[in-house]
Amino acid sequence: MKPDAKSTIETGKAVLGIELGSTRIKAVLIDQENNPIAQGSYSWENQLIDSLWTYSLEAVWSGLQNCYADLRANVKKQYGTEIESLAAMGISAMMHGYMAFNKQGEILAPFRTWRNTNTGQAAAALSELFVYNIPLRWSISHLYQAILNNEEHVGDIDYLTTLAGYVHWQLTGEKVLGIGDASGMLPIDPTTKDYSVAMVDKFNKLIAPKGFSWRLENILPKVLLAGENAGVLTSEGAKRLDSSGHLKAGIPVCPPEGDAGTGMVATNAVKQRTGNVSAGTSSFSMIVLEKELSKPYEMIDMVTTPDGNPVAMVHCNNCTSDLNTWVNLFKEYQELLGIPVDMNEIYGKLYNNALTGDADCGGLISYNYISGEPVTGLVEGRPLFVRSANDKFTLANFMRAHLYASVGVLKIGNDILFNEEKIKVDRITGHGGLFKTKGVGQRILAAALNSPISVMETAGEGGAWGIALLASYLVNKGAQTLPDFLNEHVFANNTGIEIAPTAEEVKGFNEYINSYKAGLPIEEAATKYKQ
């Protein structure tokens, strides 16, 4: 007989996952069958201090304590019991950034998040040195930029880590990092499943004239694969997380991971030839590769799955924001007519109507650039809708053009993978706001990527569920690989609903994107006009 949630919690068999996202810290408690049984959350915001985006350490700990307190309150309300112990737990957070500490464990400079773009000089120099695309947000870019800036604190660095690595260190005393998160600090060698020794050596030689007392390999966290021992919750760590004092020490903690890795786990996209696409305010795709790419591409970031397989990531700054503003225009029109507004109905009607439009949108083009878009080489953005006098200007084509635009840049990046690198993919899972209206965003993305797209109900559980699953894997894996564990114990009866594109839809999207690329000089010219 399956134990109920209350007895699972009371006997210490539940598993906890906590993820520190950009705007929300979320906790998910799961049962022995890996299903969520309780949640907690806490909203927080980054601050712009001295032109850099940051969160204070005080905000990190008060946010974690408030999130955990919210989880405790929900457990008490639902089940009338208290969390005393757990089978396992895990910490995840937004990747990249810069957290540098001295020998005393004191932070040397305010935490610099992934959002900061002040590292252009360093990222360009390192990309050339390593012959590898090093994005602005990676930890090594932040470190080298601090060196180029002659920042005084750099000589005192004893430990450099990410947000997830920092929280895990404080909870367990272990200076470790899951390989997926580590791959956003410094490139990983797919053979050794560790930092690239060649790149570490190149970096050490590059900064040798500075005469620092440290070497790069000695200040980075130890790299761990999913399922490896990453320490246990200490009594001090338990008190820092649970200010009520109920939570007991000794709980196994899985390797801390980044939000990209937990997103892969939550969509069952860690196996080679699988991928996932997140599409909301911004969008990104993660394709798990069978081998490394033949050469570096500026628009493709290389990271890894939590079990160490190479992943090609295409990250786009713009997705649904411009589309949403157009939908709001129709909402205003409906209000003018005195008709009650139901936003779900408006989205549903407009999105489904878009599917009746021409496969190439009748010649209409939308540039949804609220901000700059690195993939297409634009530093700034101006939302533009472009048409010629002879185009088929219908509501269906208009909405279809905006839906195409929301994944257009993603297509440009992924076309490199599929057309130039000949990457093969068996399944791609979509998650995020674009897929809320059933079947529409899914069909559009399938046409863009010329691949079947699956959408699962559970994808909405997000990264906190993903890190909880990694914690469950730590204590329940047996001899199973991570993909087998997920397939057999988590997603056995949930492969999602799949939509495959038609040849006509693929042809139409390709025609649209050719016109889109040809028209990019129009968008570039618009960005030069200062309002």
Q: Are 6 and 79 in contact (CB under 8 A)?
A: yes
pLDDT tens string 375-396? 898 878 899 999 999 999 999 9
- The rounded mean pLDDT for the chain is 94
CA distance 415 to 408: 10
Q: Are 334 and 341 in contact (CB under 8 A)?
A: yes
CA distance 259 to 352: 32
CA distance 18 to 40: 9
* pLDDT of 494: 76
Q: Report how far apart, in Å, the C-alpha atoms of 300 and of each of 280, 311, 487 are.
A: 19, 10, 28
Q: Report how far apart, in Å, the C-alpha atoms of 468 and of each of 87, 252, 530 are.
A: 11, 12, 47
Q: Are 394 and 357 in contact (CB under 8 A)?
A: yes
* pLDDT of 1: 43
Q: Dig out the tokens for 503 from the structure.
A: 């040849």
Q: Dig out the tokens for 12 from the structure.
A: 């210490």
Q: Are 386 and 519 in contact (CB under 8 A)?
A: yes
CA distance 203 to 181: 20
Length of the chain: 531
Residue 439 confidence (pLDDT) above 90 = yes
Mean pLDDT of 224-245: 98
Q: Are 228 and 217 in contact (CB under 8 A)?
A: no
Q: Are 113 and 55 in contact (CB under 8 A)?
A: yes
Q: Could you give the percent of the chain with pLDDT greater than 90? A: 87
In sequence order, the β-bridge partners of residue 313 are: 286, 301
Q: Are 463 and 19 in contact (CB under 8 A)?
A: yes
pLDDT tens string 173-218? 999 999 999 999 999 999 999 999 999 999 999 999 999 999 999 9
Residue 151's contacts (CB-CB under 8 Å, 6 or more residues apart) are: 109
* pLDDT of 519: 96
Classify strands 310-316 and 301-304 as parallel, antiparallel or unpaired. Answer: antiparallel
What DSSP designation does 339 have?
Answer: P
Instruction: Count CB-CB contacts under 10 A for residue 247.
Output: 23
The pTM score is: 0.89
Q: Dig out the tokens for 464 from the structure.
A: 């906190």
Q: Which helix (H) or strand (E) holds 226?
A: none
Q: Are 337 and 352 in contact (CB under 8 A)?
A: no
Angle at 408 between CA 184 and CA 287, to 5 degrees: 40
* pLDDT of 2: 58
Q: Minimum mean pLDDT among 177-186, 246-255, 428-437: which range?
A: 428-437
Hey, what's the torsion of the CAs at 430, 434, 437, 438, to 10 degrees?
A: -10
Q: Dig out the tokens for 189 from the structure.
A: 């060698």
Q: Where does the pLDDT of residue 458 fall: very low under 50, low under 70, confident under 90, or very high at 90 and above?
A: low
Q: Which CATH superfamily is domain 267-460+499-531 in?
A: ATPase, nucleotide binding domain (3.30.420.40)
Using N-to-C axis directions, what is the helix angle for 395-415 and 321-336, rounded to 10°? 170
pLDDT tens string 470-528? 999 999 999 999 999 999 999 987 778 999 999 999 999 999 999 999 999 999 999 88
Q: Could you give the percent of the chain with pLDDT greater than 70? A: 98
CA distance 489 to 301: 30
